[in-house]
Amino acid sequence: MALLQITSPHLRGTNRTASVMQWVLLATLPGFVALIWFFGWGVLINVAWAVLLAIGAEATVLRLRKRPVMFYLSDYSALVTAVLLGLALPPFTPWWVTAVGVLFAIVISKQLYGGLGSNPFNPAMVGYALLLVSFPVEMTTHWATPSTLAVQPDFLQTLTYIFTGGGVNIDGVTMATPLDTYKHQVDILTREELTQLPVFGQHVALGWEWVNLGFLAGGLALLWRKIITWHIPVSMLLSLTACSLIIGWDPDQYTPVSIHLLSGATMLGAFFIATDPVTAATSRLGKLYYGAGIGILVYIIRTWGGYPDAVAFAVLLMNFAAPFLDHYTKPRTYGHRKAHRGIKKAD
């Protein structure tokens, strides 16, 4: 009888990276559906195109690096990057913009650093920031009008526009986002006039509120399944709320809290992007600082920075800080008097 010679431990749990990633994808569905419902087929086409490109790019680079392709593709991480990037982009983004973003994200910001687990920056956000910096026009003027306000082009028309640039005159079907509008018009109009604008709808932000609530629901599902912990989302949202209430309490001068929380990529960022385990801090206390930092940076950039939505930049800036946070928030080991924080030898 040939007995296996192997060292302990011999038991393994059932948790797998692929299933973690699959759950993340599943959890984006409510927000994804809301996006398609309100902003048209462009989102679906973007996501599909991004997924295709991401898998192709990752497979190519893996083959160049002489790694087993299927083994590394089967952890679904490229898929998640592509979906998150696709969700973040405007619906009418041309195909080459998405392509540049996805290729840069997968090839340069993930694979060239060593593949999954070795990248210091969130790949989807690197791609998004690259696009924001490189193609400012396409990234700010291609946001769709919510479907309750205008008739949106159908699937084929959108497809044609995205891949050829023709077929639809998008000036008629695009409009600025609520965050953008409030930020730029708050000096001109009063709050009552502002909220009458159609972009804000009856509640907070037409269309966007449902999208964000959808992502919130997905995020709560992830919390319930223990895929993510509560530290980052809660600290990010709390700090954003706190900043907004303390600094921007006057809606006549600053964007109110409700718009901060329920429009833009806030919920997507809080539950899906900031919680990316590879690039976030790992200790519990570190996660709290990390989330709080993101929240504060989001508020600062949105209010005083040059961009209407700031989640990407805030996340990237805190990615810089994540190793430092880990270093200084190490837990105390059993049997030691203090936690060993910092560089010098302890005890």
- Does residue 63 belong to the site contacting another protein (CB under 8 A)? no
- Asked whether 72 and 58 are in contact (CB, 8 A), the reply is yes
Nearest residue to 311 via CA among 327, 291, 326: 291
Quick note: the x/- pattern for another protein over 132-171, rule CB under 8 A, is -xxxxxx---------------------------------
Q: Which is nearer to another protein, 106 or 262 (CB)?
A: 106
CA dist., res. 149 & res. 160, Å (int):
22
**Rounded to the nearest 5 degrees, what angle is found at the Cα of 212, between the Cα atoms of 94 and 273?**
70
Applying CB under 8 A, the span of 16-24, 52-60, 187-195, 246-254 interacting with another protein comes to: 16-24
Task: State the minimum distance, in angstroms, from the CB of residue 158 to another protein.
Answer: 20
Q: Which is nearer to another protein, 63 or 332 (CB)?
A: 332
- Asked whether 227 and 20 are in contact (CB, 8 A), the reply is yes
Q: Which is nearer to another protein, 37 or 135 (CB)?
A: 135
- Number of continuous H segments (helices) and E segments (strands) in the chain: 17, 0
Applying CB under 8 A, the span of 28-36, 153-161, 302-310, 330-338 interacting with another protein comes to: 330-338
Rule CB under 8 A: choose which of 282, 300, 317, 328 binds another protein: 282
- Asked whether 179 and 209 are in contact (CB, 8 A), the reply is no
Q: For residue 144, what is the DSSP state?
A: B
Q: Please tell me whether residue 106 adopts helix, strand or coil conformation.
A: helix
- Does residue 10 belong to the site contacting another protein (CB under 8 A)? yes
What does the DSSP assignment read for 321-340?
A: HHHHHHHHTPPPPTT-SS--
223: its two tokens: 């919390």
Phi/psi at 58 (5° precision) = -65, -40
Q: Find tokens 């210091």 and name the residue.
A: 120
306: its two tokens: 């040059």
Q: Which is nearer to another protein, 3 or 188 (CB)?
A: 3
20: its two tokens: 């973690």
Applying CB under 8 A, the span of 147-155, 190-198, 295-303, 324-332 interacting with another protein comes to: 324-332
Cis before 94 (ω within 30) = no
Rule CB under 8 A: choose which of 56, 167, 277, 305 binds another protein: 277
Task: State the minimum distance, in angstroms, from the CB of residue 127 to another protein.
Answer: 11
Residues in the chain: 347
- Does residue 225 belong to the site contacting another protein (CB under 8 A)? no
- Does residue 60 belong to the site contacting another protein (CB under 8 A)? no
Q: Find tokens 């907070």 and name the residue.
A: 204
Task: State the minimum distance, in angstroms, from the CB of residue 12 to another protein.
Answer: 6
Total residues at interface with another protein (CB under 8 A) = 52
- Does residue 122 belong to the site contacting another protein (CB under 8 A)? no
Q: Which is nearer to another protein, 242 or 285 (CB)?
A: 285
Residues 67-106 that bind another protein (CB under 8 A): 71, 75, 77, 100
Q: Which residues bind another protein (CB under 8 A)?
A: 1, 3-13, 15-17, 19-20, 71, 75, 77, 100, 108, 115-118, 130, 133-138, 229, 277-278, 280, 282-283, 326, 330-337, 340, 345-347
